Copies of this chain bind each other. A is one copy, B any other.
Amino acid sequence: MTLKMTIPEIHAFLDEVFPQVHNRFNVTTLPEMGATVEMRISESDLRPGGTVSGPAMFALADVAFYIATLAMIGPKALTVTTSCTINFMRKPAPTDLRAEARILKLGRSLSVGDVTLYSKGLDKPVAHASVTYSIPPSK
């Protein structure tokens, strides 16, 4: 297996299909079957008590696994999340987040794996997600 997309290609693709999240996500490493993705936290992601909202963490887990999968299969925009289980483990700091996505199975119709989320610069995870994406059939 070799990667079908580079980091610049992933960034260009995200800008094209999700223009409303332009510059929110930054892919920092893209090995086979995985991805490290950072998310810039904005005011609207914060919650009282100085923490990051659950939906913001979900959004990062979701996009990080999407990126890891697209890098392996190429730019199929219709690859969609079918399920996600997220366990919130520690209150995140009000800072940018980092996601480590890992594909455990890449089949023809499903990509299955997990994502561990960290507050940037800290080494204890704030959340862990199990994710399944459905891959559209090739023509």
CA distance A43 to B20 in the complex (A): 9
Q: Enumerate chain B residues within 8 angstroms of A1, measured Cβ to Cβ.
A: none
Query: A23 an interface residue at 8 Å Cβ cutoff?
Result: no
Report the minimal beta-carbon distance from A51 to chain B, rounded to whole angstroms.
9
Q: Choose from B81, B84, B88, B125 the contact partner of A82 (Cβ within 8 Å).
A: B88
Q: Choose from B20, B91, B114 the contact partner of A128 (Cβ within 8 Å).
A: B114
Report the minimal beta-carbon distance from A59 to chain B, rounded to whole angstroms.
4
A residues near B, CB below 8 A?
17-18, 20, 43-44, 47-49, 54-56, 58-59, 62, 77-78, 80-91, 104-105, 109-110, 112-114, 116, 124-125, 128, 130, 132
